[in-house]
Amino acid sequence: MLKTTCFRWTVVLRRSCSSASSESRVTNPSILRHLTSKITATGAITVAEYMREVLTNPVSGYYVKNDMLGADGDFITSPEISQIFGELVGIWCVSEWVASGKPKVLQLVELGPGRGSLIGDILRVFHQLQSVLHGAEVSVHLVEVSPKLSQLQAQCLAGEYTCGGEDELVYRTGTTHTGLPIYWYRSVKDVPRGFSIFLAHEFFDALPIHKFQRTEKGWREVMVDIHPEEPDKLRFVLFPTPTLASTTLIHEDEKRQHLEISPEGGVIVQKLASQIAEDGGAALIADYGHDGTKMDTFRGFRGHKLHDVLEAPGTADLTADVDFSYLRRMAGDAVVCMGPITQRAFLKNMGIDARLQVLLRSCHDATTRAQLIHGCDMLTSPEKMGSRFQFFSLLAPSRLTQPWEEGEGLGRRRRGPAPLPVAGFSELGL
Ligand code: SAH
């Protein structure tokens, strides 16, 4: 078991929010114009295409143009609320690396790192646990489509960095403040092979979804069309006949009346699963979601308030709860899936209460102490983020099997020590 008793916990001041206020962001007419001319030319578009255009269109997409995180933005995430979140995820990464037999190479891969707060907190843990990680070749790999956010990540994480060309798979490289190589990619398929710990926090909920409605004639796909009476407004319609997505994506045993499926999320999980099965490693996916029970969760957020998803596209975040039952099905049998379990259970198992006490002991400023307590409450309280957010993990099957090792006497083999429990998904004995 990973011993963390000598780990120094320091209080870190969060960067002040520099994002443009959502109030100052006016309607983004170019996206609406682009969408209406596309629909006029080719007919109603899928919700997935609508989401992809609104969020990641390379010219005017919401993620491409904005820093939407933080108190002044549209939503706030757990790593932005408290440093303890990233520190506990950092311990989880080291714990999985130790339990996997301390492989020589350790790639830390984050999908959609936002402002880089989670990975920044993890790198601080890695630096403080140098004696445990001794001898490992650690490198950091960030998958980010947003030029604006990747620039913020570089400023926050890297002492020095250089930018690659537009067409290069690695579009930026550098060295972290703690001296580790760091690389940026647009797609997870470009990350090199090797033992990797993949992290995805509030990433899968941002991926485009297809929406389907069960009707008397069978499943029909929900599409986005121009409103017949108001040409600058959009509305949802049902496609009259089956579409490619409605005939290929829906599982035959499906019981729900309405469905949201992200094939892009499925492809990414398949890639993570095959890499983990072949090269070893693990993935930790944390997001708001459900295990195949919810139906209509597509929604928009602007300035921390719910926002009509079809209104003023490009000015609000669009998101849908992650269906972990779908991700589990896509991961297949080559990996072991753990969870989903609630964020509260995961953080409690990781020892959040003990961590808070240690931080409070070293902090004498009343405001910072109050922020630390408030942050932990936000993360774990069932009425706040404790129940809605779920943790899910993919592991190499070898991680959970008891290895054979040579015993006494020629040719005698006996079972090795039992595998270590998976931190977070069971109580961590510190
Ligand atoms: N993980 C961060 C940010 C969450 S917001 C946090 O929890 O604070 C979603 C992040 O995913 C942003 O960084 C966004 O730019 C990125 N993103 C969204 N769609 C993406 C895609 N298709 N490929 C890569 N990154 C994407």
Element (H, E) at 162: strand 158-163
Q: Of 299, 292, 294, 123, whose CA–CA distance to 199 is shortest?
A: 123
Output the CA 111–ligand 1 centroid distance in Å.
7
Per residue in 106-120, pLDDT (tens digit) is 999 999 999 999 999
d(CA 122, CA 95): 12
Q: Of 66, 33, 67, 63, whose CA–CA distance to 51 is shortest?
A: 63
Q: Which atom of ligand 1 is nearest to the CA of 75?
A: 5
Q: Which residues line ligand 1 (CB under 6 A)?
A: 56, 63, 69, 77, 79-80, 112-114, 118, 143-146, 149, 201-203, 206
Q: Which atom of ligand 1 is nearest to the CA of 110?
A: 1
d(CA 399, CA 397): 5
d(CA 149, CA 67): 6
- Residue ranges of the chain with pLDDT lower than 70? 1-10, 12-28, 404, 410-411, 428-430
d(CA 173, CA 163): 7
Strand partners of residue 290:
323
Give 21-27 contacts, CB < 8 A, sequence gap 24+: 21/72, 21/73, 21/303, 22/68, 22/72, 22/73, 22/74, 22/302, 22/303, 22/315, 22/316, 23/303, 25/66, 25/315, 26/315, 27/312, 27/314, 27/315
Helix 83-99 vs helix 117-128: angle between axes, to the nearest 10 degrees? 60
Per residue in 367-415, pLDDT (tens digit) is 999 999 999 999 999 999 999 999 999 999 998 887 767 777 766 777 7
d(CA 100, CA 396): 9
Q: What is the pTM of this model?
A: 0.92
